[in-house]
Structure 1
Amino acid sequence: MNTAEQQTAAADTKITKGTAAESPKKQIVPGLALVATLAGAAFFLAQQSWFQRMSMGPLTLAIVLGIVAGNTVLRNQPIILANGIFLAKGLLLRLGIILYGFGITFQQISAVGVNGVLLDATMIASTFAMAQLIGRRWMKMEKETTILIGAGASICGAAAVLATEPVVKGRSDQVSVAVATVVIFGTISMFLYPLMYPLLNMTEHQYGIYVGSTIHEVAQVVAAGQAISTEAANSAIIEKMVRVMMLAPFLLILANIRLPSRSANAGVGKKERQKLVIPWFAVLFLAAAAVNSVIAMPSMATNAIRHVDLFLLSMAMTALGLSTQVSAIRRAGLRPLILAGCLFAFLTVGGYVLNRLLIS
């Protein structure tokens, strides 16, 4: 699959030892410049009255511009753009989420409550179990593919897929298919949820919890929340961060379930567990919220952080759009799309029912 990760890997192989000190910087700049330009265009369009009436903010417009560009003039993206795009949708996204913490207080986090934590745990367990039931038992798909798709849908999208791969030893094509399904259905969710909001009979806080507990990617959660209000976005990102932090225990459980069946060597199991990924950006998000909760920051500083944060998130959304190729739908094949579609329906409908039961 022609994903940004594969393009980045291909680009890395062309870096010679003699230019290792300067070549990475040169390869990052073109992609970042492209992403920043499109993000700037999204900011400009968001100020126009027509888009404001449509409630389309810079985050939503950024991914739209990215998808349009990525499937037209940049359909065959030069490898020189790959590193910058990959950096924007990875590191810059996480930096944007950390900075978002400076607009959150522990009082707001506590509003999620025990029920919010229970909701996330229930959604992860039920979505992942459904993936195994439908994918492995009913559709007879490869277990690695079903586990990767299930992890991406239930926890935090592509990041969960990539973190799960070392545990399940998935092939590169299985990882690519799982990432493609996350991007496709997560993007649909990002546009669908704001349209459904008037019909949901939810407060902005409840809607935000619903978004954070059911949409795939962190960036998609931010966009779907911001499309309604700042309060909705705050609740959404807090709930999503709780979900993201459940990635580490999920991987530990998955490793302990799977590793004994693959090797009787205890040392192998220990080696695998050392590869587990801790979502440090979620921890730093909490640290930023802690600072904002105990220190009264000057309004000039908070405004500056908010504007920088919004631009970083817009760059991440643009990069995600550039990496969303329509051709990925064809490459993924029918069965993975059916499985991901079933999980999307469960997250949307089943998640709504659970939210109504647990969140007041």
Structure 2
Amino acid sequence: MKTYGTPSPSGFFPRWRWSGLGPAAARAAALWPGLLVCAVIALAATFIAEHQGGPQLLYALLIGLACNFLAGVPRVAAGVAVCARTGLRCGVALLGARITVDQVASLGAATGIGIACSVVATILFGVFLAAVMQRPREEGVISGCSVGICGASAALAVAAALPPTKENERFTLLAVVGVTLLSTIAMVVYPLLLNAMHASPRVAGIFLGGTIHDIAQVVAAGLILGPQAGETATIVKLFRIAMLVPIVAVIALLYRGRSGAPVGSRIPAVPPFLLWFLFFVALTSLGVIGSRTAAAANDASRWLLVAAIGASGIKTHFADLMKLGWRPVAMLLGETVFIALLVFAWSA
């Protein structure tokens, strides 16, 4: 008597032969199942965020973790790996289309120096906390940059410049979850506190833009206090995003040739995606990219980052995240409080 078992996940992705169409077609055939899975995760995360509210990146990560069983399917794993690596870098590069030199210059020297010092101090504080809590220095760098610069996007970008180890990959995902949740809480709590203290629109905008991690939540929190606060908060946040280039470049230089990377791997002096980031900043600043094209690049960046974080979730076992314990969460919380107190001290 013939019996039927449960079909394996690989059965959903047929193997097609593309040998007659050249190496490019063969490469596409090897990647499309994994890329399709990541695209579906991005669509699902976006649908939930738009209809139920909440952070899009967090939804993508949770869905990806739930689909971890697909990591064992060879025809899916190849495309997922490309999305997590190349898709991430493309998404970060396109962030440059959001920023112009005029926006950064409009802050003024004093505010710009204050924000830059706050970002650097938060990263150094993250390294200090990692040492105190007996965690690897890389965890302090990733968490400090994610809190100090631009949340999940910074965590992913910095991790791409560090030695590609499993430990760094797991901590990066935990950092994404942590900064997303903390940023959501800050979006609600900070405007209430600023309103109770009768802060001026400019002070409120500087504080919100200088402390909240995700740019979408910065805009939302700023608009709660009025259009002037919202505009100031957005410009300050864009300045923090611009800090991504020098910070990641310095980190890549510091970790060049260090142990911890797989044998034969080499971290470039300046990651190519940072050069593309600067290229898009230049195009936007010179007016080569119009507002519609910049908006399209911004949307593409968001989609690529959402798909990349979903791919990273697929590659990670949830149990591995839990093994990291409470210390990484305490680090993220401590850094969030630190940058809030620091920015408030010089902006009030």
TM-score by length of 1: 0.66
Paired residue for 1:106, among 85, 101, 105?
Answer: 101
Partner Cα separation in structure 2 for residue 115 and residue 121 of structure 1:
10
Q: What is the match of residue 3 of structure 2? A: none
Q: 1:309 to 1:283 in 2, by over 3 A?
A: same
Matched AA of 2:29:
K
Pick which of 153-162 and 119-128 moved more.
Answer: 153-162
Matches within 5 A, 1:188-199: 188-199=181-192
Match of 2:209 in 1: 208
Asked if the contact 1:152–1:160 (Cα under 8 Å) also holds between the matched residues in 2, the reply is yes
Q: CA deviation at 1:116?
A: 1.8
Change (3 A) 1:251 1:307: closer
Take 1:316 and 1:247, find their aligned partners in 2: how far apart are those partners? 19
Q: Which residue of 2 aligns with 1:10?
A: none
2:281 equivalent to 1:289 = yes
Structure 1 equivalent of residue 247 of structure 2: 246
Stretch moving more, 287-296 or 320-329 = 320-329
Counterpart of 1:132 in structure 2 is 131
- Report how far residue 71 of structure 1 moved: 4.0
The aligned amino acid for 2:63 is A
326 and 254 in structure 1: CA distance in 2 versus 1, 3 angstrom threshold: closer
Residues 142-179 of structure 1, C-alpha deviation per residue, up to 9 Å, x if partnerless?
xxx5222122212343553464438xxxxx55445544
Equivalent residue runs for 1:145-156 within 5 Å = 146-155=136-145, 156=154
Shift of residue 121 of structure 1? Answer: 1.6
Q: Does 1:352 align with 2:340?
A: yes
Residue 242 of structure 1: CA displacement? 0.7
- Structure 1 CA distance, aligned partners of 2:204 and 2:276? 28
Partner of 1:88: 83
- Distance (whole Å) between structure 2 residues aligned to residue 152 and residue 22 of structure 1: 37
List per-residue Cα deviations over 1:295-338 (Å, max 9, x = no partner). 26445534443443443343334435545643223333x4xx42
SS in structure 2 opposite 1:278?
coil
User: 1:57-114 CA deviation, whole Å, 9 max, x = no partner?
Assistant: xxx23531x3443344x23123433333333343323323333322322122232612
Please give the per-residue CA displacement for 1:35-61, whole angstroms capped at 9, x wherever unaligned.
Answer: 22232344445554xx3xx4x4xxx23
How has the CA–CA distance of structure 1 residues 29 and 195 changed in structure 2, closer, same or farther, with 3 Å as cutoff? farther
**Residues 235-267 of structure 1 deviation map (CA, whole Å, 9 limit, x = unaligned):** 4353134145223334545679x89xxxxxxxx
RMSD across aligned positions (CA): 3.9
The answer (yes or no) to whether the contact 2:104–2:238 under 8 Å persists in 1 is: no
Q: Do the aligned residues in 2 keep the contact of 1:148 with 1:165 (CA within 8 Å)?
A: no
Structure 2 gap ranges (5+): 1-21, 146-153, 195-202, 224-229
C-alpha contact (below 8 Å) 1:35/1:85 kept by paired residues: yes
Q: Which residue of 1 aligns with 2:323?
A: 331
2:163 to 156, 162, 165: 165
- Asked if the contact 2:92/2:277 (under 8 Å) is kept, the reply is yes
Measured in 2, the distance between the counterparts of 1:193 and 1:322 equals 28
The answer to whether the Cα contact below 8 Å between 1:92 and 1:313 also exists between their aligned partners in 2 is yes
The 3-state SS of whatever aligns with 1:308 is helix
Identity %: 21
State yes or no: 1:69 paired with 2:59: no
Larger radius of gyration: 2
Give a deviation string over 1:255-307, Cα, whole Å, max 9, x none: 79x89xxxxxxxxxxxx9x7454244334323322222222644553444344
- How many angstroms apart in 1 are the aligned matches of 2:47 and 2:170? 34
Is 1:117 matched with 2:116? yes
CA 1:184 to 1:45, structure 2 compared with 1: closer, same or farther past 3 Å? closer
- TM-score normalised by length of structure 2: 0.68
